[in-house]
Amino acid sequence: MITVEMLPAAHGDALWIEWPGPGGEVHRMLVDGGPSTTYRAVLDRVASLPKRDRRLDVLVVTHVDADHIEGAVRLLQDRTRLGLSIGDVWFNGWPQLTQDADLLGADQGEMLQALIGSQRLAWNTAFRTGRQDAPAVRVADRRALPSAELPGGARATVVSPGGPELAALRREWAKVLKGLGVTPGRPEEALDRLARRRDLRGLADDLLGGDRVDGSVPNGSSIAFLLELGEHRVLLTGDGHGDVLARGLARLLTERGADRLAVDALKVPHHGSAANTTDELLARLTTRRFLISTNGDKFKHPDEAAVLRMIGAADRTAGPPELVFNYLSDTTEPWADPGQQRTLGYTAVYPARPEAGTTVEV
């Protein structure tokens, strides 16, 4: 069984995922850290672990948008104080974007990769081939989809991004940093800038005890993957573009000789944006459970059209479609209406109490 906790991350993502190993041990993955303003939820979740067992097998930072990366930047600054160990970090930063001859939050990306390097953390090692230290997490045109064997018998298969998306990110990353007067790939300078950013500093010393608009280029570069444990499957999509995700899933289905991919839950891309949760994507999936991580701030997600697509495309053989929200807010509450649920034939799940997030088992 795979457990997914959608931590309260405002309009962003912070997904705490656990699965059991064969000996009863617990394995963990954090997918994104949410925006700076909700970092306390991530910190508290780590601090809730017994000190002897504060470990993440993998930290995934899907892309450089502020509502996904800022909490990760803060967490790495608190990591030593928390006693948190991290087995591997999956993140496409500037080094990965320059590996082929032929990212806004690019500055936060520089800061994150500087922290990874200064703390000597493993970086994308699950996807290493040969001697390359930190390969890109990406789909290549003429090779099988990259996959990683995880502790406890789980597996992650990458379906996004591809080469064109990372090439576009490289151009955008360089453009954003040029506008800031910053040269990419200089970790000492990035750490110096980070030291002056009070909004991105760690909180462990204090507590152990301005969000930005995201953009389509970083969204397209999102690391998206299928997490599997035995017969249990969850598709984690970041803010991926619908066509890129659909293309990756088509590759996966061809490799497995299937027409549709059955998953126990879909973490819908870009918080339920109609521009990302497309018919093309949903047509490649068989699922009835949709995880929607947002409080509706900034962009008023989820979009009604996207939610209606989910309900319409859902597999009903095992029961009605299930919409799982991690906030009860102005943009998610309309889906709680009992009459609408009866008419459209779906159910909706909300947090037991405000700011608690939502946990599902699949």
The vertex-220 CA angle with 224 and 64, nearest 5°, equals 80
What pLDDT score does 101 carry? 37
Indicate which CATH number applies to the domain containing 105. Answer: 3.60.15.10
pLDDT tens column, 290-320: 999 999 988 899 999 999 999 999 999 989 9
Amino acid letter, residue 1: M
Asked if 204 and 81 touch (Cβ cutoff 8 Å), the reply is: yes
Q: How far is CA 38 from the centre of its chain?
A: 15
User: pLDDT for 36-89, tens place per residue?
Assistant: 999 999 999 999 999 999 999 999 999 999 999 999 999 999 999 999 999 999
Phi, psi of 60 (to 5 degrees): -105, 125
CB 310 within 8 A of CB 268: yes
Q: Which of 326, 260, 269 is nearest to 287 (CA)?
A: 260
For residue 185, the tally of other CB atoms under 10 A from its CB is 16
Question: In the predicted model, is pLDDT for residue 141 greater than 80?
Answer: yes
Average pLDDT over residues 322-339: 96
The CA distances from residue 323 to 137, 162, 289, in Å, are 30, 29, 6
Residue of 88, 1, 18 whose CA lies nearest to 53 = 18
Structurally, the chain folds into a number of domains equal to 1
Query: Range of 51's domain?
Result: 3-361
pLDDT at 298: 81
Cα–Cα dist 268/50, whole Å:
31
Rounded Cα–Cα distance for residues 46 and 229 (Å): 23
In tens, the pLDDT along 196-254 reads 887 888 877 655 442 232 346 889 999 999 999 999 999 999 999 999 999 999 999 99
- pLDDT confidence of residue 209: 40
Q: Are 301 and 266 in contact (CB under 8 A)?
A: no
